[in-house]
Structure 1
Amino acid sequence: MTERELTAPVSLTLPNGQVNPEAIGWARQPIVDTSGIGRGLGRNKRWEYWNVTTPTHILALTVSSIDYAAVHEVWVFDRATEQTWDKGATVVPSRGAELPANVGSGPARARAKDLEIDVTASTSGEPGGTRLRARIPGASFDVFAELPEGHERLAVVVPWSRTRFQYTVKDVARPASGSVTVDGITHEVPAGQSWAVLDHGRGRWPYDIAWNWGAGSGVSHGRTIGIQVGGRWTEGTGSTENAFFVDGRLHKIHDELAWDYAIADWRRPWRITGGGLAASFTPFFDKTTRTDLAIISSRTDQCFGHWSGTFAIPGGETVEFDGILGWAEEVHNRW
């Protein structure tokens, strides 16, 4: 399978709200305009998910509006003690959320009881990257995710039909720095050892859907490595969200990948292979989330751990990597 590479700005939607056929493909930068996603008959999903890995902590925030509800979360994990600070909010009907029309075109904010999130991009006062601020009882963080010159980001339009489609931007291996405070004690998010990942989503989804997602960022053998893999939800669409990054350069993987894992035995190493990638993922923690609110239900196992393996660059070298911190997850949503 070979996907079309998009090289010029294009609108995700047509004037009638359906997917624009000219937008179906992938790009090295977020050049797809999603400002029209509010048009059409319901089922619109918009979110910003950021994750930051550090030598001592893992940090995450979510700002989202899934049409009839706003769903937000802040999560802080101490890698040494496995203690967590977590606060989520599901607000029905959707309110208290601000999301930009496009990647970085404005701030993303969420407000709910005992939860504050502010994401500020370069276009709204943070030159050179994105600032991530979040606060919940017992924990807060202030992190800057640098956007280096020439850094490439995977942007993909996945079509299920003319009226059901998703635009995803997976931005991995962003250098991060700042601080995290838990129970009154502040810890450094050290530059050169900390990495930020963005999952930016805009689309109109089927009600019942399952997916796998894996990501990793770090330095191995003197090179900056970014791993971005996904599965299940893209099958049969002609699109994939798979890519491997070396020193900021994106190498697209057009194949659907084979995932071998068992959530019931989540500590067992996962194997993800195909398209030149032979990767092993060894988890050390399973973040489980279960939600059942009648119309909305979700089951998520997000396992954090380390990636190792090889990637064969088409027509080039084979890159070895190990010790790359990240995650692999299994999700089933009814939303």
Structure 2
Amino acid sequence: MTAESSAPSRPRHPADRARRERELTAPVSLTLPNGRVNPDAIGWARQPLVDTSGIGRGLGRNKRWEYWNVTTPTHILALTVSSIDYAAVHEVWVFDRATERAWGKSATVIPARGVELPANVESGPARGRAKDLEIEILRQAGGARLRARIPDASFDVFAALPEHHERLAVVVPWSTTRFQYTVKDVARPASGSVTIDGSTYDVPAGESWAVLDHGRGRWPYDISWNWGAGSGSSGGRTIGIQVGGGWTAGTGSTENAVFIDGRLHKIHDELDWDYGIADWRTPWRISGGGLEASFTPFYDKVTRTNLGIVASRTDQCFGHWGGTFAVPGGEIVAFDGIVGFAEEVRNRW
């Protein structure tokens, strides 16, 4: 599959059909004392139960990051704080939905410096600093505070964590030495403000939503993936969409789920993705495990990086989700107009 041609539906790997993931219900360490993945951590959970303090620096393959995306009726906001062992990679991005004008700055700092990341979700602050870029993520009562600043743009957003709100935590094992722990937290109510060129705009409560991607692991050098997420209200219910593909194939783990009023409904299947980046405005189709979803983009955020041994190609399309989900043993829930994104990424890192 390339960015220049349409992507066929991705077949399910036999191992994905054969295995049902184990649900983790108690705290567990991601790694063993020797640094390999802990077999007892392989599975999924409704809360971030996995301790990743064993993922540090020095082995060349450790990847740690916090990515937040916030959608409002008028803007889309995003920040990334990350360390990939030999470099710190940060980004702040602000997008005006009406004019499609964007303000953004990214920084790759080699060797990694000016970065602070907690061992676990919400166990401490995350900060990233580089020339003309500052990011701070703070745990506060009832949620997380997201602050970011670049020339001509800044934002200050509170991402609430409602009581009983569930989050998808998954350990994905490629091998005993290559593995990833991801927490995908969607449909977090957001509020605050964004300032652009001296003008301040509201991030209105009840109409704004935050998504978190918390990652800790040791990755293969060359890998591709799809990720999609959406948050919003439809039919009087709060809907969260979380789908992924490519990178989990053959591992027995998936990062797929639908959230309804804060309750997580896990999808154990690998999903079929049908889309074409060459004609990115064409609706994407994602299906499987009771989910029949379409995603209609309105903007493609294109990022290309080539620093020799470190390179990436990302098309992150923003748009609207619609479709249906068959709740296991229950109703069929229809949703429409859910704002979010779907992306195609290839990284050499």
Q: TM-score range by the shorter chain?
A: over 0.9
Code of the residue aligned with 2:231 in structure 1: it is S
| SS of 2:247 mapped into structure 1 | coil
Distance in 1, Cα, partners of 2:213 & 2:57: 22
The answer to whether the aligner puts 1:241 opposite 2:255 as a matched pair is: yes
Distance in 2, Cα, partners of 1:147 & 1:41: 34
| SS of 1:261 mapped into structure 2 | strand
The answer to whether the aligner puts 1:34 opposite 2:78 as a matched pair is: no
Code of the residue aligned with 1:95 in structure 2: it is R
Code of the residue aligned with 2:28 in structure 1: it is V
The answer to whether the aligner puts 1:145 opposite 2:163 as a matched pair is: no
Q: Kindly state the Cα deviation for residue 41 of structure 1 after the two structures are TM-superposed.
A: 3.0
| SS of 2:313 mapped into structure 1 | strand
Where do residues 13-162 of structure 1 align in structure 2 (5 Å cutoff)? 13-38=31-56, 41-121=59-139, 126-162=140-176
- Corresponding residue for residue 273 of structure 1: 287
Q: Which runs of 5+ in 2 are unaligned?
A: 1-18
| SS of 2:301 mapped into structure 1 | strand
Q: Which 4+ stretches in 1 moved above 2 angstroms?
A: 39-42
Alignment TM-score, normalising by the size of structure 1: 0.98
Where do residues 296-311 of structure 1 align in structure 2 (5 Å cutoff)? 296-311=310-325
Query: 2:59·2:85 contact (CA, 8 Å) conserved in 1?
Result: no
- Corresponding residue for residue 239 of structure 2: 225
Distance in 2, Cα, partners of 1:276 & 1:179: 37
Q: Kindly state the Cα deviation for residue 38 of structure 1 after the two structures are TM-superposed.
A: 1.6
The answer to whether the aligner puts 1:209 opposite 2:227 as a matched pair is: no
Out of 173, 177, 181, the position equivalent to 1:167 is 181
Distance in 2, Cα, partners of 1:145 & 1:310: 27
Distance in 1, Cα, partners of 2:190 & 2:58: 37
Distance in 2, Cα, partners of 1:152 & 1:10: 18
Code of the residue aligned with 1:66 in structure 2: it is I
Code of the residue aligned with 1:236 in structure 2: it is G
Distance in 2, Cα, partners of 1:65 & 1:82: 30
Query: 2:256·2:267 contact (CA, 8 Å) conserved in 1?
Result: yes
Q: Percent identity?
A: 83
- CA 1:40 to 1:235, structure 2 compared with 1: closer, same or farther past 3 Å? farther
Q: Kindly state the Cα deviation for residue 250 of structure 1 after the two structures are TM-superposed.
A: 0.0
Query: 1:16·1:39 contact (CA, 8 Å) conserved in 2?
Result: no
The answer to whether the aligner puts 1:294 opposite 2:308 as a matched pair is: yes
Write out per-residue CA displacement over residues 223-257 of structure 1, whole angstroms, 9 at most, x where no aligned residue.
00000000000000000000000000000000000
Q: Kindly state the Cα deviation for residue 146 of structure 1 after the two structures are TM-superposed.
A: 0.2
Distance in 1, Cα, partners of 2:33 & 2:157: 38
Distance in 2, Cα, partners of 1:72 & 1:295: 18
Q: Kindly state the Cα deviation for residue 44 of structure 1 after the two structures are TM-superposed.
A: 0.1
Distance in 2, Cα, partners of 1:94 & 1:153: 29
- Corresponding residue for residue 327 of structure 1: 341
Distance in 2, Cα, partners of 1:40 & 1:316: 48
Distance in 2, Cα, partners of 1:78 & 1:55: 10
Q: Kindly state the Cα deviation for residue 40 of structure 1 after the two structures are TM-superposed.
A: 7.3
Distance in 1, Cα, partners of 2:143 & 2:93: 22
Code of the residue aligned with 1:9 in structure 2: it is P
RMSD: 0.7
Distance in 2, Cα, partners of 1:104 & 1:82: 33
Query: 1:18·1:40 contact (CA, 8 Å) conserved in 2?
Result: no
Write out per-residue CA displacement over residues 89-135 of structure 1, whole angstroms, 9 at most, x where no aligned residue.
000011110000000000000110000000001xxxx1000000000
Distance in 1, Cα, partners of 2:98 & 2:32: 50
- Corresponding residue for residue 6 of structure 2: none
Code of the residue aligned with 2:68 in structure 1: it is W
Alignment TM-score, normalising by the size of structure 2: 0.94
Code of the residue aligned with 1:263 in structure 2: it is I
Distance in 2, Cα, partners of 1:209 & 1:95: 25
| SS of 1:332 mapped into structure 2 | strand
Distance in 2, Cα, partners of 1:226 & 1:212: 17
